Chains A and B, each alone.
Chain A
Amino acid sequence: MDELKRVDTYSLILGSVLLACVLVAGETSRLEIVDSRRAKSGSIVLLVGPSDGGKTAIFSSLVYNHAPPTHTSLQQNVAFFRSPSPFHRKPLQVVDIPGHPRIRGQFTDFFQENGKSKNIGGVKAVIFVCDAAALTRNASTVAEHLHLVMHAISNLPPSATPPPLLVFANKADVLTSASKSKTPNTALAVTRTTTILERELEKRRLNSIKSNTAVLGELGDEGGEDDTVGGLDVTEGDAFTFDKWDGGVVTIRSGWVDIQRPRKAHGGHDTASEDDEPKEKDTVVDPTVPKKDGLAELVDWIATLR
């Protein structure tokens, strides 16, 4: 309640507007008036990563508590969700950035101090989501994407604290492990993802050291702005590992999302049979997979954020 004392008239007006909104929306849940200025700083959790990694599925699980089928995102999704941590008194804002190469660059808006975005310093954490099962096939493009993200984090102005980075190896449920058990093998997903990505990032690090980009400048930047995607420096000239990364803290976790699917295809739209067919879309319940929260590791990580 001490927050209420601090609000000025403006906030009260704002508050009542918000109240009205909430009433309109039919939200019956508890109201909480938060200092809007503070809500701006450091409450954004960015979901980034290659297309088809499962960002939107995770977004939906966090925000709506269930994950319908999804397709490639054309635009960002932004929503509030309640953090599991008691330390986060205000809801966090989760932003799902499309992973398609032509639009993935949108995430840099959150790291730049340009007119477009007032979000600098607003990023509390970055979650890089990738498909653990597909990583052996697309390692190099995934690493390229991760590299861009790490570059952005390590290039933040010194005044800003670099947000912690979680690499989330998603789809652990489809990762076939040697044991052949149907239990999602998150441990395997973590080690595999770490190995593959560290190897690829090391290649990229060496490449950016060797490349003589000064020879081939970019058109229009006579100012000689450095455009090399670096940001992979490690302590003491060793090979790259996430532990040794200079740019910030990286954590690797794994998990999966239970996608809610229509139960089965309608076998044609034959009138007679269809009318007595139940239309509800049930989730596929595979009895061999124990009911477990696939996003537990991710949510736990979010809870550790300060």
Chain B
Amino acid sequence: MLDNCTISHKGGLVLWSRSFTPTAATLSRSNASPVNNLIREALIEGRSSEDRYEKDGYAVRWTLANDLELIFVVAYQRILQLSYVEDLLTAIKTLFIKLYAPFLTKFVASLHAQANAAPTEVADASPSWDFASAFKDWDKVFDKVLRELEQKANQERRLRTRQLTGSTALGASMSGNESFNEEHPERGSGATTPAKDATSPLDGQEIAKNIAHLKTRMKGRNSTSGKKGKGGGAGSGSDSDVSKRQSSLRGAKSKRTWGDVVPTEDDMSALDFSTDKPSDLPSAGVLDTLVDEKSRGVKKDGVYEIRDWEFSKQASREVDEDLDDFISKTLRETSLNSTGPTTSSEAQPGYISSLFSKLTGLAGSTRPLTQQDLGPVLAGMKEHLMKKNVARDIAERVCDGVGKSLEGKKVGGLRSIRGEVHAALEDAITRILTPKTSTDILHAIRQKKLTTMTTTRAGGESKMEPYSITFVGVNGVGKSTNLSKVAFWLLQNDFRVLIAACDTFRSGAVEQLRVHVRNLGMLVNKETVEDDKGKKIDLYEKGYGKDAAGIAKDAIAYAKEEGFDVVLIDTAGRMQDNEPLMRALAKLVALNQPDKIVFVGEALVGNEAVDQLTKFDRALKDFSKGEGKSGRGIDGMLVTKWDTVDDKVGAALSMTFVTGQPILFVGCGQTYTDLRQLRVSNVVQALLSD
């Protein structure tokens, strides 16, 4: 059973939403609603190429209609294997847009007011902008679509059961069926509509058709899951010979279609578009009241010509049937054509674009971008990013995401497809690289000083908690060197720094830090007179072979006692696959709860970046979880050897994409001053430059 279905505009306004349980309704209103999480954690972060998003036990699927800037979202319990969600999305997207295109077009245009091109009049606050009444008939359409899809899912399930027990020839051709069944044990069971197949007559032809259809689905499903959650819709894997077979089937089968088989009399009557109440029809009622004069004016203009939406033209005809036909047709196309979510928007009537360009005052002919248009350009962009040392997987996902955000979008004559893709890619990369949390560490250190000081004031003696930063990473990337650079920077900002030598593994590690601390101490003393508080920089060490987590804990306690502001914790380098060592690191993190966990990685890293960061982040989160405490992952990155890669700065993109966290520093040389902060626009430029 579904939790929630929402149709909304990318600007944030929800046009229509339905929750199926009270819990889901409450959740959908909160800031932590599935839609909000999807947008914040997938769409804005450039992860829109994934076709499914999961969080807190629910799964979310979505599709975009980029020409009208709409988002269609369905959320459901993750444990349910709802086979029809993809079809549902495609169907409601197609139907919604076709039914309400004039209203939607006008609405979207009203959200793109241009100072120089817009009408001087304000979007009038007539009741036509009341979405609730604008889309009130949509509930019925939605119900019908959902019911049909659920029934179909039920029927398919039953059919399979029957074949497994009886039919010989048919059953033999369905050898893959059992595994399919096991893979989706819950399939269709969430449907609340009583299945009607026991009474509906199924002749041989229909069974054959059902099977053909099922095969398509399975094929699609298998290839989709084979691609590990990437790529298009449920049926995207079905190839041309299947669809050929289907179209020949459809042709041979005279008028009988899925739409004819599935709906029952109940369904017909459920759709309360009775002929004697013409004002209830979406055609006569909804659109006229909503778009008011518009439909008239546009008709005069000859633009308002909805050819493929037949019943709108003939309000006098048997509308029940027309709407049914229309819905059935859509459903049929949805399931048989192995529709990627985009096909329908490609099939958008041209009048939307013409109307849209008129309303927005955008000159030039517009046409929707298709997958074919975008494919080659995106492939080129992907190659380009990989040349810049972006990990293959990341380049792919970023470009796929860009593609998804552009498909169906109308482009004016002035801008080339390449230009459009370039702009969208720049936008996406900027978003990925832009931090979502504050990167001002100096401010954070002072904040912590202030807050911990006030809390202890009551006790008289005011000892503030030091701010702690743990540096983690694989071997030989320059952790200790760059930790020293950070120490130097902090010293320049008048903080007292304690370095904790928690690499008790590699021989020479402690000595190396000792040298750094001596150097730094001399540098600081040269510039500033040592104050009464004591040493400005010191090393906390306990030799080799000891438990790193314990040393870190002692170091923090020591720092608190001695009034150090910051503790920098150096840890031993380790390979991401070494589970015992990763567990040890997670223990250090769990025990000390450092304020920042900084991953140190090389700018030279290419495809390896993904594996390193994913595993470090995962392992830290998984192994540092305690009772009641959620695990800690990586908070930010320090990218070393930046000076060696020229403009091949792809690692920056790979790393931020994988973790969702910002690059706090880059190391760019051998001296203590060779530490920089990253300016996003510079990285974007470097990545896009030829």
Indicate, yes or no, whether A interacts with B. yes
B-binding residues in A (CB < 8 A): 17-18, 20-34, 36, 39-40, 43-44, 51-52, 56, 60, 63-66, 68-82, 90-91, 93, 96, 98, 100-103, 105, 122, 140-141, 144, 203-204, 206-207, 210-212, 215-221, 227, 260-262, 264-271, 274-275, 279-281
Interfacial chain B residues near A279, Cβ < 8 Å: 136, 139-140
* Other-chain contact of A80, B29, B123, B446 (Cβ < 8 Å): B123
* Residues on the B chain within 8 Å of A274, using CB: 143
Inter-chain contact A219/B642, CB cutoff 8 Å: yes
Return A55 CB to nearest CB of chain B, in Å.
8
Question: Is the Cβ of B115 less than 8 Å from the Cβ of A105?
Answer: no
Asked if B12 is an interface residue, CB under 8 A from chain A, the answer is: yes
Residues of B within 8 A of A218 (CB): 676-679, 682
Q: Which of B129, B435, B488 makes the CB contact (< 8 A) with A64?
A: B129
A26 touches B295 (CB 8 A): yes
Q: Quick check: A77 and B11 within 8 Å, CB to CB?
A: yes
Most buried by A among B121, B440, B678: B121
Chain B proximity of A121: nearest CB distance (Å): 12
Please measure, in the bound complex, the distance between the C-alpha atom of A70 and the C-alpha atom of B298, giving whole angstroms.
30
Contact B22 A217 (CB under 8 A): no
5 additional contacts (CB under 8 A) given A28-B293, A77-B111, A82-B122: A33-B120, A36-B115, A56-B13, A73-B10, A265-B21
B662 to chain A, nearest CB (A): 10
In the complex, A29→B488 CA distance in Å?
67
Which A residues are CB-close (under 8 A) to B670? none
Per the bound structure, the CA–CA distance linking A280 and B682 in Å amounts to 52
Interface assignment of B165: CB less than 8 Å from any CB of chain A:
no
B31 at the interface (CB under 8 A from A): yes
Decide if B492 touches A212 in the complex (CB within 8 Å). Answer: yes
Question: Could you tell me if B438 and A275 are in contact, using CB atoms closer than 8 angstroms?
Answer: no
Contact across chains for B120 and A26 when beta carbons are under 8 A apart: no
Chain A residues whose C-beta falls within 8 Å of the C-beta of B291 in the assembled complex:
26
Residue A71 contacts which of B36, B113, B442, B665 (CB distance < 8 angstroms)?
B36
Q: Can you name the residue of chain B whose Cβ is closest to the Cβ of A64?
A: B129
Binds A, one of B226-234, B354-362, B502-510, B556-564: B354-362
For A79, give the chain B residue with the smallest CB separation: B113
A197 to chain B, nearest CB (A): 15
Question: With A220-B679, A266-B19 known to touch, is A39 a contact of B440 (CB < 8 Å)?
Answer: no
Chain A residues near B11: list those with CB within 8 A. Answer: 56, 73-77, 96
Q: Is B310 located at the chain interface by the 8 A CB criterion?
A: no
Does B436 touch A at the CB level, under 8 Å?
A: yes
Q: How far is the CA of A279 from the CA of B118 in the complex (A)?
A: 35
A31 B120 Cβ-Cβ under 8 A:
yes
Checking A40, A63, A98, A275 against B272 with a beta-carbon cut-off of 8 angstroms, the contacting residue is A275
**Contact across chains for A74 and B493 when beta carbons are under 8 A apart:** no
User: Which residues of B lie under 8 Å from residue A74 when comparing CB positions?
Assistant: 10-12, 39, 43-44, 71
Nearest residue (CB) in A for B649 is: A219
Give the distance to chain B from A46, nearest Cβ to Cβ, in Å: 13
Task: Say whether B121 contacts A31, CB under 8 Å.
Answer: yes
User: Which residues of B in the span 389-438 have a Cβ within 8 Å of any Cβ on A?
Assistant: 431-432, 434-438
Which of chain B's residues have a CB closer than 8 A to the CB of A60?
A: 13
Residue pair B676, A216 in contact (C-beta under 8 Å): yes
For B176-216 the 0/1 string (1 means CB < 8 A from A) is 00000000000000001100000000000000000000000
Pick the residue among A26, A33, A69, A98 that contacts B29 (CB under 8 A). Answer: A69
Is A103 touching B358 in the complex (CB atoms < 8 A)?
no
Interface: B313 (CB within 8 A): no
Residue interface mask B281-298, A partner, CB < 8 A = 1? 000000000011111111
User: Which of B14, B121, B673 contacts A69 (CB under 8 A)?
Assistant: B14
Find out whether the CB atom of B119 lies under 8 angstroms from the CB atom of A71.
no
Supposing A68-B132, A269-B143 touch, asked if A216 and B677 sit within 8 A by C-beta, the answer is yes
Tally of chain B residues near chain A (CB < 8 A): 106
Could you tell me if A215 and B492 are in contact, using CB atoms closer than 8 angstroms? yes
Chain A residue at minimal CB-CB distance from B18 = A266
Closest to A28 in B: B293
Q: In this assembly, does B456 line the interface, its C-beta being within 8 Å of a C-beta of chain A?
A: no
Q: Mark B1-39, 1 if CB is under 8 A from A, else 0.
A: 110001010111111011111101100010101011001
Contact A144 B438 (CB under 8 A): yes
Residues of A within 8 A of B675 (CB): 216
A27: nearest residue on chain B (CB-CB)? B121
A14 to chain B, nearest CB (A): 9
Residue B450 is within 8 A (CB to CB) of chain A in the complex: yes
**Shortest distance between the CB of A171 and any CB in chain B (Å):** 11
Are A271 and B270 within 8 A (Cβ)? yes
Chain A contacts for B22, CB-based, 8 A: 264-265, 267
Smallest Cβ-Cβ distance to B358: which chain A residue: A24
- For residue A221, give the distance in angstroms from its CB to the closest CB of chain B: 7
Taking a contact as CB atoms under 8 Å apart, the answer to whether A90 and B434 are in contact is no
**Min CB distance, B267 to chain A, in Å?**
9
Whether A90 touches B120, Cβ cut-off 8 Å, given contacts A56-B13, A203-B447, A271-B266, is yes
Q: For B452, what are the chain A residues with a Cβ–Cβ distance below 8 Å? A: none
- Which residue from A66, A122, A141 sits with its C-beta under 8 Å from B438? A141
Whether, in the assembled complex, B494 has its beta carbon less than 8 Å from a beta carbon of chain A, the answer is yes
Q: Which residues of A contact B443 (CB under 8 A)?
A: 203-204, 207, 211
User: Could you say which residues of chain B place their CB within 8 Å of the CB of A212?
Assistant: 492-494
Contact A101 B679 (CB under 8 A): no
Min C-beta distance of B281 to chain A, whole Å:
15
Question: Count the A-B residue pairs with Cβ separation under 8 angstroms: how many?
Answer: 267
Knowing A75-B11, A101-B437, A260-B132 touch, does A219 contact B124 (C-beta < 8 A)? no
CB-CB under 8 A from A211, the residues of chain B are 442-443, 493
Other-chain residue from B36, B71, B119, B440 in contact with A18 (beta carbon distance below 8 A): B119
Asked if B252 CB lies within 8 Å of chain A CBs, one says no
**Residue among A33, A56, A215, A270 facing the most chain B CB atoms (10 A cut-off):** A215
Contact A27 B642 (CB under 8 A): no
Residues of A within 8 A of B40 (CB): 51, 72, 100
Chain A residues within an 8 Å CB radius of B266:
271
CA distance A270 to B147 in the complex (A): 10
Given contacts A66-B130, A71-B8, A34 and B120 within 8 Å (CB-CB):
yes
Q: Is there an interface contact between A79 and B437, defined as CB atoms closer than 8 Å?
A: no
**CB contact between B361 and one of A21, A29, A101 (< 8 Å): that residue:** A21
Task: Please tell me if the beta carbons of A24 and B301 are within 8 angstroms of each other in the complex.
Answer: yes
Query: Nearest-CB distance from A196 to chain B (Å)?
Result: 14
What CA separation (Å) do A140 and B446 show in the bound complex?
A: 13
With A24-B303, A268-B21 known as contacts, the answer to whether A219 contacts B682 (CB < 8 A) is: yes
Interface presence of B116 (CB below 8 A):
yes
A–B complex contacts, Cβ < 8 Å, 30 sampled: A26-B297, A34-B120, A43-B115, A51-B40, A65-B125, A71-B8, A71-B12, A71-B35, A71-B36, A72-B40, A74-B39, A78-B114, A79-B110, A96-B11, A100-B40, A101-B435, A207-B443, A207-B446, A211-B442, A211-B443, A211-B493, A215-B488, A216-B489, A217-B676, A217-B677, A218-B678, A265-B21, A271-B193, A271-B266, A280-B132
Interface pair A221/B361, CB less than 8 Å apart? no
Q: Does B689 contact A (CB under 8 A)?
A: no
> In the complex, are the beta carbons of B676 and A269 less than 8 A apart?
no
Given A74-B10, A215-B489, is A269 in contact with B192 using a C-beta cutoff of 8 Å? yes
On chain B, the residues within 8 Å of A80 by CB distance are: 113, 118, 121-123
Interchain CA distance A288-B436 in the complex, whole Å: 39
**Closest A residue to B679 using CB positions:** A218
Q: Does B320 contact A (CB under 8 A)?
A: no
Option from B14, B120, B297 in Cβ contact (under 8 Å) with A70 = B14
Interchain CA distance A279-B280 in the complex, whole Å: 13
Q: A207 CB to closest chain B CB, in angstroms?
A: 4
Are B676 and A219 in contact, CB atoms less than 8 angstroms apart?
A: yes
Taken together as a complex, chains A and B put the C-alpha atoms of A82 and B121 apart, in Å, by 8
**A contact residues around B113 at 8 Å (CB):** 78-80, 93
A30 to B119, CA, bound (A): 11
The listed residue with most A CB atoms (<10 A of its CB), out of B14, B43, B112, is B14
Structural contact, A63 and B123, CB atoms closer than 8 A: yes
Nearest B residue (CB) for A52: B31
| Identity of the chain A residue whose Cβ is nearest the Cβ of B445 in the assembled complex | A207
Annotate B647-690 by CB proximity to A: 1 below 8 A, 0 otherwise: 00000000000000000011010000101111100100000000
